[in-house]
Structure 1
């Protein structure tokens, strides 16, 4: 067995997801998973850290506290899965993205900040930790994100339907396009998914997320607001492109609110923004896919899926990743377990067609316990 644990906490900052996988050169086998919620007080400080005024001291303490939460998730998963720690090759930790500034034009080098303390995490769990997955791709002139399309290519190449697209509805939505017959793999961020929906309902309802989109269903779509939001240059720009909370946040949203909308109407419009921008992104694909496979936390928002289905072109079917043996909530953490395996096996894991990097590269760094 070649066991790896993947750790992921997304843009929505709701939890640290830990997934244990057995990885071989031709497959990834899910073994077990465990999630640890990010406490409200820590979540608030993480959100504050997404602004560029955090002191170095506060950053270091926050990184240590975040690493301690990752250690808890890892150790609880190991206990739950009943595996011997020495059987695990490494823990692959993406870290919490605080700021993402990819290059805006050719020749510019961007940067991306993932909060992490790999040494602390490694010592606490007694295992090697692989981390800092975006840096090499950024150094090669790429966006550094999204990184999951390479994993999508690895696990969905045998769906026997081509071309297909995989839509990851995390805090930010990203789409992967796979045509195995032509050997094409593409991907890019399409815009906000859960991050704005979660932030808005938390402000007005005190809830971390809108379960099944029920609050959005109570609202009325504001067509002018939706049009204004979709006029943001991000949606018009061709890939490669990636984004995050530093762009799509409540301050961004409030610039477009020029009248006293009911909060539920704004929620309804934000949900429509996610659905329409995701399907509008088909314009950048070589062909219309035969099937759209959804994953990520947004895959459990039935109203969001209903709206996505309404925008899909004829003959494009909608499915979720569970139909292909991968639970929607586990895909991203599994992707980083696989990226850790790729690092240990010196396997390039970025896709230049996705990120815009000048060449393939091995992603990550490693510290030993």
Structure 2
């Protein structure tokens, strides 16, 4: 067995997900998973740290606290799965993205900051840690994101002969186009998914997320607001492209809001923003896929899935990844477990057609226990 643990906390900052996998060259087998919610006080400090001028001292203290939570979820997963730390080849820790600034036409130097303390984490759990997965792709002129399309290709490409698409509804949504016959893989971020929905309901309802989109359904879609939101240049920019909280945040949203909008109307319009931006992204795919597989936390928002299906350019099957053997909430953490395996096995894991990097590259760095 080749056991890896993937750790992931996305832009929604709701929890750290840990997934234990047995990874082989042709297969990833899910074994067990565990999640630990990010406490409110830490979540608030993480949100406050999402700025480019965070001091080195503040970063180090916050990284240590974040690593402590990563250690907690890892050790709890091992206990739950009844697996010893000695049996684990490595833990692959994505870290918490604080700022993502990919290269642009005006700025050729891109960077991405993932909060992490791999040395401290490795010392606490007694397992090697693989981390910093985005840096090499950025150094090669790529976006450093999204990285999951390569994993989507690995686990989903053979599920159908016809082309399919995979949409990850995390804090930011990304899409992967997979054509098993031609080997074509395309992927890019489409815009906000859970990030704005979660921030808005937390501000106005004190809830971390909109369960099944129930609050959004109480609101009225504001087409004029939707039109202005969709006018943001990100949505009309062709791939490769990626984004995050540094762009799509409450300050960005508030710049479009006035007193005439009820909070639930804004929530309803944000659902449509996610659905429309995903549907509009089909213009950059080689052809319309026959099937759309949905994963990530947003896959549990039935109203959002309904709106995505309604907005697509033509009727296609929309199903969550559980129908293909992988629970929606586990896909990203599994992806980073696989990226850790790729690092150890010297397997390039970026896709230049996705990120825009100048060449394939092995991603990550490793610290030993």
Partner of 1:300: 300
Equivalent position of 1:151 in the other structure = 151
- For residue 349 of structure 1, report the CA deviation from its aligned partner: 0.1
Q: Is the 8 A contact 1:20 1:31 kept in 2?
A: yes
Shifted more, 35-44 versus 50-59: the winner is: 50-59
Pair 1:94-2:94 in alignment = yes
Q: Larger deviation: 112-121 or 52-61?
A: 52-61
**Does residue 78 in structure 1 map to residue 78 in structure 2?**
yes
Secondary structure (helix, strand or coil) at the match of 1:334 reads: helix
Whole-Å Cα distance in 1 between the matches of residues 221 and 315 of structure 2? 26
CA distance in 1, matches of 2:239, 2:135: 19
Q: Equivalences for 1:264-303 in 2 at 5 Å?
A: 264-303=264-303
Correspondence 1:40 to 2:40? yes
Q: Residues 176-215 of structure 1: matches in 2 within 5 Å? A: 176-215=176-215
Rounded to whole Å, the distance in 2 between the matches of 1:169 and 1:223 is 23
Per the TM alignment, residue 107 of structure 1 is displaced from its structure 2 partner at its CA by: 8.1
Distance apart, 1:311 and its partner CA: 1.1
Is contact 2:101-2:112 (8 Å) kept?
Answer: yes
- Cα distance in 2 for residues equivalent to 1:55 and 1:340: 29
Q: Which residue number in structure 2 is paired with residue 222 of structure 1?
A: 222
Q: Which runs of 4+ in 1 moved over 6 A?
A: none
Aligned 8 A contact 1:161 1:291 in 2:
no
Counterpart CA distance in 2 for 1:56 and 1:114 is 13
How far off is 1:106 after superposition? 8.9
What displacement does 1:84 show?
1.9
Decide whether the 8 Å contact of 1:107 with 1:141 is kept in 2: no
Describe the superposition over 1:232-251 as per-residue Cα deviations: whole angstroms up to 9, x where unpaired: 00000000000000000000
Distance across 2 between alignment mates of 1:46 and 1:56: 14
**Secondary structure of the structure 2 residue equivalent to 1:54:** coil
Cα offset for 1:87? 1.1
Contact 2:18 2:74 in 1 (8 A): yes
Indicate conservation of the 8 Å contact 1:106/1:141, yes or no. Answer: no
Cα drift, residue 52 of structure 1: 2.6
Q: Please tell me whether residue 122 in structure 1 is matched to residue 122 in structure 2.
A: yes
Matched with 2:246 is: 246
Q: Tell me how far apart the structure 1 counterparts of residues 197 and 115 of structure 2 sit (CA, whole Å).
A: 23
Q: CA deviation at 1:109?
A: 2.4
Aligned to 1:342: 342
Please, which runs of 5 or more residues in structure 1 have no aligned partner?
none
The answer to which of 277-286 and 156-165 deviates more is 156-165
State yes or no: 1:132 paired with 2:135: no
How many Å apart are 1:312 and its aligned residue? 1.9
Aligned partners of 1:367 and 1:45: how far apart in 2? 27
Counterpart contact for 1:174–1:189, Cα < 8 Å: yes
Match of 1:360 in 2: 360
Where 1:94 maps in the other structure, the secondary structure is strand
Q: Are 2:322 and 1:327 aligned?
A: no
How far did residue 307 of structure 1 move?
Answer: 0.3
Residue in 2 aligned with 1:174? 174
> Structure 2-normalised TM-score?
0.99
- Residue 30 in 1 paired to residue 30 in 2? yes
Q: What is the match of residue 49 of structure 1?
A: 49
Cα deviation digits, residues 69-108 of structure 1 (max 9, x gap): 0000000000000012111100000000000000003981
Contact map agreement 1:161 1:290 (CA 8 A) in 2: no
Query: For residues 271-290 of structure 1, what are the alpha-carbon distances to aligned partners after superposition, in whole Å with 9 as ceiling and x for unaligned?
Result: 11001101110000000000
Secondary structure of the residue that 2:54 maps to in structure 1?
coil
Question: Normalising to structure 1: TM-score of the pair?
Answer: 0.99
Displacement, 1:54? 2.2
* Distance in 1, Cα, partners of 2:51 & 2:276: 28
Contact in 1 for aligned 2:18/2:35 (Cα 8 Å)? yes
